[in-house]
Amino acid sequence: MTENIHKHRILILDFGSQYAHTQLVARRVRELGVYCELWAWDVTEAQIRDFNPSGIILSGGPESTTEENSPRAPQYVFEAGVPVFGVCYGMQTMAMQLGGHVEASNEREFGYAQVEVVNDSALVRGIEDALTADGKPLLDVWMSHGDKVTAIPSDFVTVASTESCPFAIMANEEKRFYGVQFHPEVRLTPARVCACWSVLCVISASVKPCGRQRKLSTTL
C-alpha cells in the first residue's frame, strides 16, 4: 500500500525571503520526504485550520520587523498546538508577537558565522562542528540579517549566540516553538542544518560539516 504523503503536512508561511530562501526551505523539507505547501504570510485562521498542518515554518524576509505595518504571522499560528519554527525574520516576528523585542543592529551579519550553543535543546542536541575551549558546541551557519532579537519572550530560553547576536537560537521546548537567526536551508557553509516536521512531530536535522554527512532525528 502506498503511504499517504499528506498524513503529515508542513505549512511554510512566506515573508518574501531573499535568494529564494523560502523555496529552499520547501525543498529541504521535501528532500526529507515530508509534504509541505508554501503560502503567503497573510493567510487566515480558517485557511490554516483547513490545511491542518503538523507543523508551521515561518520564513525569512526582506522587511524589518521594527517597521510599522511590517508582516506578522497570523496569531492562530501560535495557538494551533503544533510545532512552529521561525527562520531569521520568522524568528523575529515570533519573538515580537510573543512578548520579546527586536532592534536594528549596528552591525549587519552576512555570510559564514559560528554560533555557540549555551543551553541544551532538542533542536541541536548531538550536533556540533567544533568545540570551544571549555567544551561548548559550535555550529557553522549562514547569517543574513540586519535586525536582531534583543529580548526573547519570557517563556523561552537562549540556546545559542554569537558575539553580535545574543539570541541566535531561542526555544520554548514545552510549546515546541523554535527560532533561529541564521538560514539552515542554505548549503553555502561547511555545515547546514535542515529542520522539518515529520512523523510524530519529529525534527530531522541534516548536518554536512566539511564534506561529512550526518543525520539526527529528535522526537519532540
92: helix, strand or coil: helix
Q: List the alpha helices (DSSP H) in the chain.
A: 21-31, 45-51, 89-97
Q: What is the pLDDT of residue 184?
A: 81
From the candidates 88, 165, 194, 196, give the one annotated as an active-site residue: 88
Residue 88 a catalytic site member: yes
183 is catalytic: yes
Q: What is the pLDDT of residue 85?
A: 92
**Catalytic residue list contains 201:** no
- Alpha-carbon distance of 94 to 70, in angstroms, equals 13
- Pull the grid cell for residue 90: 520568522
Catalytic residue among 109, 185, 194, 196: 185
Half-sphere CA count of 73, side-chain side, radius 13 A? 31
All domains of the chain, ordered by start, with CATH?
9-219 (3.40.50.880)
Please give the Cα distance from 54 to 105 (Å, whole number).
34
Residue 9 cell numbers, joined: 503536512
Instruction: Assess contact for 164 and 113: CB atoms under 8 A.
Output: no
Whether the Cβ atoms of residue 212 and residue 197 lie closer than 8 Å to each other: no
pLDDT tens-digit profile, the chain (220 residues) = 445 666 678 999 999 865 456 777 888 788 777 888 999 999 999 999 999 999 999 998 888 888 888 999 999 999 999 999 999 899 999 999 999 999 887 666 666 888 899 999 888 888 888 888 898 989 888 787 678 899 999 999 999 998 888 999 999 999 999 999 888 876 554 444 444 333 223 333 322 322 223 333 333 2
